[in-house]
Amino acid sequence: MDKQKIIQAGRIAKQVKEYARTIVKKDTHLLDIAEKIESKIIELGGKPAFPVNLSIDNIAAHYTPFPEDKTLAHGLLKVDFGVHIDGWVADNAFSIDLENSEENKKLIRASSDALKNAIELIKKNKSKTTTSQIGKIIEETIESQKFSPIINLSGHSMEEYDLHAGITIPNIDDKKEIELKKGIYAIEPFASTGVGKVHDGKPSGIYSLVNEKTPRSQTAREILEFIQEEYQTLPFCSRWIVKKFNSRGLIGLRQLEENGNLHNYPELVESSDAKVSQAENTILIDDKNEVIVTTD
Ligand code: CO
């Protein structure tokens, strides 16, 4: 684990979060918000670990603006972004209420209180904290505020160029009792006014490389090389590919999909179409059993 790079990524994430709060306003284009946040990450010396997710209301996650997207910011907006330095990621999210709704504000408080309580628990119990204890405190915090945790979304351990390195941090008590040990963990409670489950929606245009088999088309080969070089196994999006390759980028992406090179992540939609809030932070537990919150 490269502790210095993670801490550096966290420092950048903290500044990006503060910046993002100043530019997210009702009726601004999601496209502008995403591009400004991604540019800010680069300006501060990091790289986006995945396309900025700007998911509204009942979409819990995995919405990033398409090229020429005209959607305007509104409702309950989740801003989920990652900063990486050489593959070491600080994953972060916050939610914002853009319609001045009491219910939205309460729902946002539920997920951010759940995150705060989970981090306090980890600071206290360190590497003895189990994943189910974290899930339990998240579940209890959200339910005590009369909302539902999303049971099939979870936090995750991370490694170099690996956003989901094997350990799941549930948002409910799943009784699995896995101790945290030394490592990097994204904790991300989601709260909902509905049933507290998500299902797959439309393809999001967020992709990751799953197979390196050479495609026949020259354009697709060029794009594959670019992906291998620029993103490795981290997610990217059609918007980024179009920026680099113009409209032939979309053709190449389709060919890569057909050739089995790419996974296209679906949008994640709340199953009762209820609103969802999210809060997320990344912590690390080092070899001296110190707990470091990357944005502190
Ligand atoms: Co995450």
**Residue-by-residue DSSP string for 226-280:** HHHHHTTTS-EEHHHHHHHHTTHHHHHHHHHHHTT-EEEEEEEEETT---EEE-B
For residue 101, what pLDDT band results from cuts at 50, 70 and 90?
Answer: very high
DSSP 34-67: HHHHHHHHHHTT-EEEEEEEEEETTEEE---PPT
Dump pLDDT digits (tens) for 58-81.
Answer: 999 999 999 999 999 999 999 999
- For residue 240, what are its two tokens? 């980024």
Q: Residue 280 C-alpha to ligand 1 middle, in angstroms?
A: 7
Q: What pLDDT is attached to residue 163? A: 95
Of residues 292, 287, 90, 283, the one with CA closest to residue 182: 287
Pick the closest to residue 237 from 279, 217, 209 (CA basis). Answer: 209
What's the 236 CA to ligand 1 centre distance in angstroms? 15
Q: Please determine, for residue 249, whether its predicted confidence score (pLDDT) is greater than 90.
A: yes
Helix ranges (H only) for 98-211 are: 102-125, 131-144
Active site residues: 80, 91, 156, 164, 188, 280
pLDDT in tens, 82-97: 999 999 999 999 999 9
Give the pLDDT mean for 266-271. Answer: 98
pLDDT in tens, 107-154: 999 999 999 999 999 999 999 999 999 999 999 999 999 999 999 999
CA of 188 to the centre of ligand 1 (A): 6
Over range 215-235, report the average pLDDT.
Answer: 97
Calculate mean pLDDT across residues 220-240.
Answer: 97
Q: Can you tell me the mean pLDDT for 280-288?
A: 96
- Can you tell me the mean pLDDT for 275-280? 98
Q: Check whether 1 has a pLDDT greater than 90.
A: no
The pLDDT assigned to 296 comes to 85
- pLDDT reported for residue 12: 98
Q: What is the pLDDT of residues 147-191, one digit of tens each?
A: 999 999 999 999 999 999 999 999 999 999 999 999 999 999 999
> 84: part of which helix (H) or strand (E)?
strand 76-85
Q: What are the chain's domains?
A: 3-200+268-293 (3.90.230.10), 201-267 (1.10.10.10)
Contact 268, 153 (CB under 8 A): yes
Q: What pLDDT shows up at residue 136? A: 98
Q: What is the pLDDT of residue 190?
A: 98
Q: What spacing in Å lies between the alpha carbon of 157 and ligand 1's midpoint? A: 9
Question: From ligand 1's centre to the CA of 281, what distance in Å?
Answer: 8
Q: In whole angstroms, how far apart are CA 245 and each of 46, 98, 173?
A: 23, 34, 46
**Residue 266 burial (CB count, 10 A):** 16
8-60 pLDDT tens trace:
999 999 999 999 999 999 999 999 999 999 999 999 999 999 999 999 999 99
- Compute, in angstroms, the gap from residue 53 CA to the centroid of ligand 1: 11
Which pLDDT score, from 0 to 100, does residue 18 have?
A: 97
pTM beyond 0.95, yes or no: yes
